[in-house]
């Protein structure tokens, strides 16, 4: 599950998160592609050019960005809920990736701080716990 946590030091990030939620309504794949595009180009984005960048991205994907992206405020409310949750964690950087498990061994929540280690960390976490029966049998001999 992905959550939006626009950082306050990026004055355009909340609007970008609303745009991403809008594209999610078309398909989650589009929303994810937009988020990735924004992350990859964040050094070029300003509050003044975000709309134009987003309109071009939408046009490249055969979509029309409406003049008012969130007229009901529903998308904004979802982002505010994500931001509130992030504040309780406390979340202080993005992207933040947590792997959450309920396999009964090891930590239930692990943060991935090095994205190059994501798959290695996943492999470690989902590796089955050593069988206690095998341990007992080995101890008896």
DSSP 69-97: S-TTSHHHHHHHHHHHHHHHTT--SSS-E
CB of 111 closer than 8 Å to CB of 96? yes
Output the pLDDT for position 40: 92
Mean pLDDT of 40-52: 95
pLDDT digits (tens, 9 = 90+) for 79-134: 999 988 888 877 777 677 777 777 666 567 788 888 788 888 888 877 766 654 44
Same domain, 65 and 111: no
Same domain, 112 and 76: no
The mean pLDDT value of the chain amounts to 84
Q: Which of 49, 66, 88 is the last residue before a domain boundary?
A: 88
Mean pLDDT of 23-42: 94
Residue 19 and residue 39: Cα distance in Å, rounded?
13
Same domain, 46 and 64: yes
pLDDT digits (tens, 9 = 90+) for 94-106: 677 777 777 666 5
pLDDT band at 20 (very low <50, low <70, confident <90, very high): very high
DSSP 102-123: -SSSS-SEEEE--GGGHHHHHH
CB of 3 closer than 8 Å to CB of 85? yes
């Amino acid at each position: 599950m992905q959550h939006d946590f626009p950082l306050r030091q990026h004055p355009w990030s909340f609007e970008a998160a609303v745009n991403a939620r809008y594209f999610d309504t078309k398909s989650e794949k589009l929303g994810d592609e937009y988020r990735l595009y924004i992350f990859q180009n964040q050094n070029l984005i300003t509050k003044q050019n975000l709309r134009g960048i987003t309109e071009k991205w939408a046009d490249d994907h055969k979509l029309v960005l409406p003049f008012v992206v969130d007229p009901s405020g529903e998308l904004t409310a979802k982002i505010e809920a994500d931001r509130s949750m992030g504040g309780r964690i406390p979340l202080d950087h993005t992207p933040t990736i947590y792997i959450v498990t309920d396999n009964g061994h090891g930590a239930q929540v692990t943060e991935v701080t090095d994205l190059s280690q994501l798959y290695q960390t996943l492999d470690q976490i989902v590796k089955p716990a050593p069988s206690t029966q095998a341990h007992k049998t080995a101890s008896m001999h």
